[in-house]
Amino acid sequence: MPKVKTHKGTAKRIKVTATGKAISWSNMRNHLNEAKSSKRMRKLRKANVVHDSDMGRIKALLPYEF
């Protein structure tokens, strides 16, 4: 049986909280920012909780975090 390995790309982008929720940071923030409003850029600063429908995939990619 092969080892289960952590997906390193996912591990760099998602953090697991103490209560078992997954946190990811907003995308769409790296370039073409002059066209985006200040309000939109402020909202993009925040981290987001990963939706429940995506948690199965996250748990498969980060097997030792949960």
- List the domain boundaries for the chain: 8-61
The values of phi and psi at residue 51, to 5°, are -65, 150
Domain at 8-61: CATH code:
4.10.410.60
Residue pointed to by tokens 């850029």: 41
Mean pLDDT of 48-52: 96
pTM for the whole structure = 0.78
pLDDT at 66 over 90: no
Quickly list DSSP for 2-65: PPP---HHHHHHEEE-TTS-EEEE-SS-SS--TTS-HHHHHHHHSEEEPPGGGHHHHHHHSTTT
